[in-house]
A and B are shown apart, each in its own frame.
Chain A
Amino acid sequence: MPSRTPTTKGRKTKTREQEKLPVCPLQNAAANNIRQVMDAEGKLTGDLPDPDIPPEKLLHMYETMVMVRAIDDRGWLLQRSGRVEFWIPHCGLEAVHNGATLAYEDPDWIFMGYRHPGVMLMRGVPLVQLFAQFFGRADEPFKGRRLPTLMGDRRYNIVPMTTQVGSYIPHVCGAAMGALIKGHDTKFLAIFGDGSSSRGEFHSGMNFAGVHKPPVVFICENNGWAISTPQSLQTGSATFAEKGDAYGVRNLVVDGNDALAVYSVVKEARDLGPDEGATLIEAMTYRMGYHTSSDNPDLYREQAEVDAWAAWDPLIRLRKYMERKKLWNKKKEDALWARCKEEISAAIKEAEAMDFPHPSTMFDDTFEEMTWMLEEQKAALLADLEDLS
């Protein structure tokens, strides 16, 4: 794959300006061995067949993808005006997690990363619950204790995201192994980023998966950047997928901006028989936004690269595909965006009016019975708060 060959070790050379304009690798999917259903115009040109998802499911996925995009647009502004403490953008990544979630059944377990709010919405988590979490309010499952956008909800079989990226890869192996031993036919999905592949847990998990064959699909969402670290400094191998070879784990690369392709390869991997084991899927995509609200990507990446990827926007491609199928039109598109924005505004209003958790609750839920040390700290905090007021 061009431009993926390992460069000389060490730091980035300063010749990027002399290089030609960047090309989105999805444009040459076949040459790059990237599995694909449709091209940038939503035409069926890829090596994978049209999965013919039933219209109702397809529309559910597309509507969720649009909602996910609309949440990102709005969330960013909420952070900039000080209403939300922190924001992790997810623009451009909608096809990977929504396509994958659609390929799974509701009783299956999903270990999500950040940037994946569609996992929650696809499973029916109310929008207001998401915003209550963004606003750090007391009445949401995490009781207002987590960084905004780090989601999850065990009631929906979605394991809350662990901020330590990739740390949950062995956990999903263990959970899947448990299901396998118990004879359940529950399947498991884990989504993590390219940076996670540099952590020990990735390798422990892959090795376990190769040996014991738990029913897991690992999606390595390769969005080009681990904060400011490009792929060329993340790995010496040409793809993240091929790391599976070393562990005897089935692997492939898929167009991560093609929701149909993601759905197809994830569905196939999910439905493998009990002896066929795990699959590592590298979903090639691009983080269009900042790493977080604390980042400034202009310091480390070229706008031309972002522009090259913009032509492969996952929402536009799926919309064009649906238009070709006469399932969609401009009127529906406009109505959908209007509805998403309206629902978001309503959810913001409702969530922002909720109460904050009381500071003393931070000591709760750490032990079944609070230890004397925590009791002492809690008493000290309460006295201190009283003192301050």
Chain B
Amino acid sequence: MYEFILPDIGEGISEALLINWTVNPGDQVAEDQEVATISTDKVDVELPSPRAGTVSELCWKPGDTVQVGSVFMRIETADDSAETPTPAKVKKPKPKAATPEKVEKKPGNIIAAPSTRKLAAEQNIDLSSVSGSGPEGRVLRRDIATTTETKSEAPSGVRIAMAERMAHSVHTLAHTTMNFEVHADGLLALQKRLSPAANAQDLKLSMSVIIAKCVATALTRHPRFNATIDEEAVGLVLHNAVNMGLALASDRGLTVPVLRDVQALTLFALARHLGDTVNKGRDNQLQPADFRDGTFTLTNTGGLETADFLSTRPVINAPQAAILWVSRIKTRPRVVNEQLEAGPVINCSLSFDHRFLDGAEGVAFINDIAELFEIPEQALASE
């Protein structure tokens, strides 16, 4: 059985996303025949088979993030010799005529290989506190290993990608956040009026759908917020289509699938689209294309909240220029007609990149969002 190990095909790639297989278990493959398409940070790549034979096992599903160096697929080769991708054979070095002189050990000197020193440094261990079990008290890697009892979380590909993107965004973009509260009677009323019709079509009209539609309408009025940052040109690239990223929590970390052309979809079409996307996300079935070309992100923590969240500081999903967080709708004290009363409100936080968008633009955008949330029918009526 031949194990095809996922190679580092891009000089420093640590993982790749499996897009699809082009062979099935049981298929005959020729040497160099394409077997899969994978996506790395840089490029989509067609992987050829290193061996001829019968496909015995495809070890991953499309949508999986595969670490370089892990077994990608198994192939029953014709001769079925236990081949490995890189022969373990190593040429024996020629014996040296003279052995090198022993290195004099100075008192107080710690003997340890550079890799052992590195391991110790990484784990913040003072080598002088470790008693070496090697010859002449040499500190070995296993001496370090027994010293430590920490447990590190194995990071998932999604989490690594998120760590890099979030750090880039926070360190590069001039994050500015504005918080606001809107009365939510209109949103609830619309949901109540339309839900029977939606249910009749086997659709769930969630509040996220109505909010996404309202925000898309606000974005068409404020195209500078429906934009991506071109760091090289030091400017914004404005987009006609509202491709709204929707932040979803999953057990593998945060993912942000993109709903395309939200401005052009009817509320029910959007509901269907969103429902499908959420289901696919839950089942890890989202494809790389489902994450691309976002122009704005909406993050809605409603389903997760039990405490009262009045504001957050959402981190912009660069290269997008802005992000909106909305809370669940809850009953809170509010002022209506100069009177204090209890009623439904929604809390929101808008973060934008102040390098390219200014406060006055933010206020104008928020004013329109608030108006659309209060009278969401406008979002359905807008051109």
Contacts and interface: CB of A to CB of B under 8 A. Distances in A.
B9 A293 contact: yes
B155 interface: no
Nearest to B11: A294
Interface in A66-80: 74, 77-80
Interface stretch (B83-91, B121-129, B295-303, B329-337): B83-91
B115 A384 contact: yes
Given A11-B233, A82-B9, A296-B43, A387 B89 contact: no
B103 A81 contact: no
B343 to A, nearest CB: 50
A310 interface: no
A376 B141 contact: no
Given A81-B48, A82-B50, A356 B87 contact: yes
Contact of A86 (B11, B47, B103): B11
Contacts of A388: 141
Interface string A347-381: 00000110111111100000000001001101111
Interface string A131-171: 00000001100000000000000000000000000000000
A83 interface: yes
Given A82-B85, A358-B91, A384-B115, A74 B32 contact: yes
Interface residues of B, number: 40
B115 A83 contact: no
A272 interface: no
B94 to A, nearest CB: 9
Contacts of B42: 294-296
Contacts of B321: none
Interface string B17-54: 00000000000000010000000001101111110000
Nearest to A292: B11
B103 A376 contact: yes
B253 interface: no
Contacts of B91: 138-139, 355-358, 361
Given A81-B7, A294-B42, A387 B113 contact: yes
A80 B45 CA distance: 8
Contacts of A357: 90-91
Interface in B221-254: 232-233
Interface hub of A77, A292, A357 (most chain B Cβ within 10 A): A77
Contact of A11 (B86, B89, B232): B232
A82 B11 contact: no
A7 to B, nearest CB: 15
Contact of B92 (A80, A353, A358): A358
Contact of A80 (B9, B89, B103, B142): B9
A383 interface: yes
Nearest to B69: A82
Contacts of B50: 81-83
Given A80-B45, A82-B85, A294-B42, A356 B90 contact: yes
Given A83-B85, A356-B90, A358-B93, A380 B113 contact: yes
A361 B11 contact: no
Contacts of B10: 293-294
B5 A82 contact: yes
Contacts of A375: 100-101
Nearest to A356: B90
A385 B49 CA distance: 31
Contacts of A379: 100, 103
B90 A358 contact: yes
B138 interface: yes
Nearest to B44: A296
B162 to A, nearest CB: 23
B87 A80 contact: no
A384 B47 contact: no
B134 interface: yes
Nearest to A363: B93
A14 to B, nearest CB: 8
A379 B9 CA distance: 33
Contacts of A353: 87
A83 B83 CA distance: 13
Interface string B47-84: 11110000000000000000000000000000000000
A371 B205 CA distance: 76
A357 B86 CA distance: 13
A363 to B, nearest CB: 10
B208 interface: no
A381 B114 CA distance: 9
Contacts of B45: 80
B352 interface: no
A234 B93 CA distance: 46
Interface string B95-135: 00000110100000000011110000000000000000010
Interface in B148-194: none
A79 B87 CA distance: 16
Interface hub of B6, B10, B91 (most chain A Cβ within 10 A): B91
A138 B98 CA distance: 23
Contacts of B325: none
Nearest to B38: A80
Nearest to A296: B43
B373 interface: no
Interface string B297-333: 0000000000000000000000000000000000000
Given A81-B47, A294-B11, A357-B91, 20 more contacts: A77-B32, A77-B48, A80-B7, A82-B4, A82-B5, A82-B6, A83-B50, A86-B11, A293-B10, A352-B87, A355-B87, A355-B89, A355-B90, A357-B90, A358-B91, A361-B91, A379-B103, A380-B114, A384-B113, A387-B113
Closest 4 CB pairs of A and B: A82-B7, A294-B11, A296-B43, A355-B91
30 contacts: A14-B233, A79-B9, A80-B47, A81-B32, A81-B48, A82-B8, A82-B9, A82-B50, A82-B85, A83-B85, A139-B91, A293-B11, A294-B10, A355-B89, A356-B87, A356-B91, A357-B90, A358-B90, A358-B91, A361-B91, A372-B100, A375-B101, A376-B100, A380-B113, A383-B134, A384-B113, A384-B115, A387-B134, A387-B140, A387-B142
Interface of B: 4-12, 32, 42-43, 45-50, 85-87, 89-93, 100-101, 103, 113-116, 134, 138, 140-142, 232-233
